[in-house]
Amino acid sequence: MRIGRKGSGVMDLPKGFRERMEVLLGEEYPDFLKSYEGERAQGLRLNGWKTEEGRRDGWEQSGAAREAELLCGLAGFSLRPVPWAAEGYFYGEDCRPGRSPLHEAGVYYIQEPSAMSAGALLDPQPGDLVLDLCAAPGGKTSHIASRLKGRGFLLSNEIHPARARILSQNVERMGLGNVVVANHSPEQLAERFPEFFDKIAVDAPCSGEGMFRKEEEALAQWSPERIRACAARQQDILRSAAVMLKPGGRLVYSTCTFAPEENEGTLARFLLEHPDFYLEEREGAPGFVPGRPEWAWFGRETEGEDVETLHLERTFRLMPHRIFGEGHFIASLRKREDAFAGDHAFSGYRIPGNPPQYLDKKKQKILWSSFETFLEESLADPEELKGRREYLLFGDQLYLVPPQMPDMDGMKILRPGLHMGTCKKNRFEPSHSLALWLLPGQARRVRELAPDSPEARAYLRGEALAQETAEKGKKGGDKGWVLVTTGGFSLGWCKLAAGVLKNHYPKGLRRQGD
């Protein structure tokens, strides 16, 4: 059974775009054009941080797949694996995973399947220092962070403030603790972090030709001039990324466009300018098409330099008539081990200490005491968090920052790690971020709501819950904070007092009339 959304015929593609693609694809062009009439792939990627062994039993048993099947309501339907992403699955048009409480619990991220390829190609490992340079809305950030398994450090950056806020919200929903969200230009970051990162993801802003079926704005804005402008901006971004990568480090470049000027052309110019980089030979998934070196200077009136030694065929094109997914381009570059470090190599770390900063000593003591009281009353093992040293205070907001976080003083930081909570009138109120980061077994009191239950929907609307004996199942008495879960995954907080479970699901996230 095919899955996805059926199209309504050939889209009104720009004439210039059609002419370019016919020249590029030749005899494949009719098949390419026909792909716009077919089904559009839709996918979700399970959150490895929530489902990885040690936090859950594994992706296949995560509950996300079971809930998606339930929502699809199709006899015999099951999620189909995405071949190029171990955590990725295709789902059908009748499935609405975005409406499930499991989505709000961060069990999965809804992501176009082709876009999952970049995170898989970067292959971050626990302990890596990683930069997601153009990170909004957060799909690749959540993919990278889940593979870090809570170890290492990820700086997730977005230059546009509004998009950076969306990025920060998605980091919270996915329950990620070792991610710092910043709002800077690539050039500003390059001045701050020379040769600091082990791996860098550059999902470059592009003309978006591969997303025409998904994003009407990309279709409406298409023009040859836009392609040239994007290609120029991509060069600037890659130059900054090159400065920040350690010798021996990996850089994955990706776009969602077919335009050679932004793909083979961008990389050809970068590699000729940066001989300390080379394209890695990586294995692609079935249907991935090798890059086309002969397209490196496409659109130019004069032929450029010889690119044979650059091995542009080691890049990958994801074409909608070759795979079940939208158009994408990915490439894995390595910085040579003997690359000259220069005079600006990163000089060291600053690890924030305990107690928190930026309050006078009296207020620090009050906050720390209230935080310790919360830990003792609400967590099964309070010593685990009491023993951590990497706490930082912004105003009355307490954060647990990644141990390997460098000095961020003076930077525009939206999220300096895991937001623990707020000090209010000499008491500590835990954050929604902390709830989503915790495992149910870490809380003293837990209230489980079935994902398809009226109670789960009521909770997401902000309604109070009826008290059950389960809240008294662990030490803590008949009052205090209760971790609300769904399908075995943390969803948010309630506060138990006088027999009432007051809803603390954030007002800005509450659903209306669901």
Does the domain made of 125-335 have the CATH classification 3.40.50.150? Answer: yes
Please say if the pLDDT value at position 75 is more than 70: no
∠ CA(130), CA(111), CA(201), 5° rounding?
20
Fold observed for domain 439-514: Nuclear Transport Factor 2; Chain: A, (3.10.450)
Amino acid 312 reads L
* Global confidence as pTM: 0.90
Separation CA 477–CA 445 (nearest Å): 9
Amino acid 280 reads E
What is each CA distance from 312 to 99, 237, 265, 363, 396, in whole angstroms? 42, 19, 9, 59, 52
92 is in an annotated binding site: no
Greater confidence, 332 or 1? Answer: 332
Q: In what order do the strands lie in the sheet with 418-424?
A: 391-394, 397-400, 418-424, 427-430
For the chain, domain boundaries: 125-335, 351-437, 439-514
What pLDDT does 344 receive? 42
For the chain, give the percent of residues with pLDDT over 90.
67
Tokens of 180: 């710092």
What pLDDT does 50 receive? 81
pLDDT in tens, 276-302: 999 999 999 999 999 999 999 997 766
73: left (phi over 0), alpha (psi -120 to 50) or beta: left
Q: What kind and span of H or E run contains 290? A: strand 289-290
Residues annotated as catalytic (active site), given as ranges: 256
Q: Where are the alpha helices (DSSP H) in 201-307?
A: 216-221, 224-244, 264-273
Mean pLDDT in the chain? Answer: 87
pLDDT band at 351 (very low <50, low <70, confident <90, very high): very low
pLDDT band at 338 (very low <50, low <70, confident <90, very high): confident
Please say if the pLDDT value at position 339 is more than 90: no
pLDDT in tens, 8-53: 445 789 999 999 999 999 999 999 999 999 889 999 998 888 865 4
Separation CA 482–CA 449 (nearest Å): 12
pLDDT in tens, 309-325: 999 999 999 999 999 99
Please say if the pLDDT value at position 494 is more than 80: yes
SS3 content of the chain, % helix, strand, coil (to 5): 35, 25, 40
Domains 125-335 and 439-514 share a fold: no
138 is in an annotated binding site: yes
Q: Which residues pair with 495 in a beta bridge?
A: 481, 502
Q: Is 278 exposed, middle or buried (0-12, 13-18, 19+ CB in 10 A)?
A: middle
Identify the residue whose tokens are 């495992």: 439
Cα Rg, the chain, nearest whole Å? 24
Instruction: Report yes or no: 36 and 8 within 8 Å, Cβ to Cβ.
Output: no
Q: What is the mean pLDDT of residues 479-508?
A: 93
